[in-house]
Amino acid sequence: MLATESKQALTTPIQDFATKKGTYVILQKTVGEYLDMLDLYDPTTHATNWDVAIAVSFQRALLPIQKNPIKRRMLRDLLRGGTLPPIVLYERQEQRPLVVDGLQRTHVLTEALKTLLALEQNEEPKEKFAKEELEAMRDLNQVPIKVEEFLDRPFVLQVWHNLEPDELVRLFMILNVGQQKVSPRHLLEVMGDDVRRMFEEWGIKVVSEREEKQQPRRRGRPAAGDKTQGEEQPEPSGAAVIPGFTHYRYEYLLDGLFAYVTRDPQVKTTKILQEEMENPTPNLALEERITEVGSENCRADFVWVCRDLNGVFLERYERDPRWRLAIHNSDNFFIPLMAALGNARHNERARGSLEDRKKKLIELIRASGDSDPLSLSRGDVDCLGTILDNIKSNIGRKQRGVVYNAWRRYFLLGAEDPAYAIEWRTALLSD
């Protein structure tokens, strides 16, 4: 806890046992001290400076006061000495705090101060909405307080420390539950730097599209659009391979995250965005399951797929370009796999044995003397490659359905035949 906090703390640091090291304190400051600590007000020059960067990356967009009746009423109350509910901050070392909950209230605070400063200088406020609220106050015989009174008004904060990125995201979700439905479009706004750091702290390397383009191509690998005669070049769809590391494209991981949460193997981030723009009806499946993002189960499943399972794919299918990169380079394999895992987490029959089946599959692949332990390319009618190659209509959707059903069956029943741990042919018939 900072030294300045200890003088104003209403509580000692309180450990949050649902986090690794997270703690919070309740502080009482003045409005002036609060705005000053966020660099929104300079007490020496009496200048206000609104900066939306005070908010965490997943905060919803700033609502304009002139169009929002709640914020206008909030402004009027503050002008006559009203009190706001506590605001939640996240304290970062040697940086100004971030507003986790209270962006709109903080914005109104700065507007109220600007209005009072204008009145004290015998000037009219610049904003039309401020003038209208002052007129409404006069009609009700309400008198604005002085700037000094406003800055000295008590202000209560809940200040958090030592949160992991996924814990910070979950805190935001909890604080907003019941206040506003979080739409799929807003979830994309939530998926910013904090979720990228979440993946990286899970041991999943992330690369942006721009970073991928800046990486030098491997020797002998053709540029995009080039063809090498006699050798089929796998088209990069979801990830970049950087020498020495396995990196995942961020958008690709988001697709997998949506598939995991919604349990939908056909989901695509771009599709969700487009539907949200064209159709006001919310994606209820996503809204109901949004709090699964960053959960302990979510972490365990992503780490298993992106690190453990991908690791054995890279080892056992080293000479097979089609399947070596199937997990981190194929939408039609990775996304239905994540959807099947999400489904298993919510299936009572599968959930209790899920961790054991994940572990046993890794062991089976590593212990197998077969060069193709998962029957991906062995050439018979039951291998996945043959099945997918024979799908001619609605290719992408049908292929995802086969992969999804096969993984869902495995997580439910386990390996019935070690020689065919994943029943691809059965999945095709049941699709």
Q: 257 and 322: one domain?
A: yes
Structural domain span for residue 38: 3-161
User: In this predicted structure, what is the pLDDT of residue 106?
Assistant: 93
Positive/negative CA dihedral, 148, 150, 156, 159: negative
User: Which of 202-216, 243-257, 364-378 is most confident?
Assistant: 364-378
Q: Looking at beta carbons, which pairs linking 359-363 to residues 24 or more positions away fall under 8 Å?
A: 360/414, 360/415, 361/309, 361/410, 361/415, 361/421, 362/308, 362/309, 362/312
Query: What's the whole-number mean pLDDT along residues 211-230?
Result: 44
The mean of the pLDDT values for the chain is: 80
CB-CB contact of 431 with 406 (8 Å): no
Q: 277 and 148: one domain?
A: no
Q: 384 and 409: one domain?
A: yes
Q: 387 and 418: one domain?
A: yes
Domain C-terminal end among 143, 161, 179: 161
pLDDT of residue 240 exceeding 50: no
Structural tokens at position 218: 């491997």
On whether residue 223 sits in a domain, the answer given is no
Q: 171 and 141: one domain?
A: no
The structural domain count of the chain equals: 2
User: In this predicted structure, what is the pLDDT of residue 61?
Assistant: 66
Q: 339 and 377: one domain?
A: yes
Q: 254 and 129: one domain?
A: no
User: Which of 27-36, 87-96, 176-185 is most confident?
Assistant: 27-36
pLDDT of residue 78 exceeding 90: yes
Q: 71 and 179: one domain?
A: no
Q: 110 and 22: one domain?
A: yes
Positive/negative CA dihedral, 168, 307, 231, 373: negative
On whether residue 226 sits in a domain, the answer given is no
pLDDT of residue 37 exceeding 50: yes
pLDDT of residue 380 exceeding 50: yes
| Residue in the structure block whose two tokens are 């958008």 | 251
Task: State how far the alpha carbon of 42 is from the alpha carbons of 51, 90, 152, 316, in Å.
Answer: 13, 21, 14, 62
Residue 336 pLDDT grade (very low, low, confident, very high; cuts 50, 70, 90): very high
pLDDT of residue 152 exceeding 70: yes
Say if pTM beats, i.e. exceeds, 0.75.
no
Q: 385 and 421: one domain?
A: yes
Query: CA-to-CA distance for 239 and 237, rounded, in angstroms?
Result: 6
269-320 pLDDT, tens digit per residue, is 555 545 544 554 445 555 556 567 767 888 899 999 999 999 999 999 988 9
On whether residue 230 sits in a domain, the answer given is no
Q: 91 and 180: one domain?
A: no
Q: 395 and 255: one domain?
A: yes
pLDDT of residue 47 exceeding 70: yes
Domain C-terminal end among 161, 190, 206: 161
Sequence-ordered list of residues with C-beta below 8 angstroms from that of 216, at least 6 positions apart, any chain: none
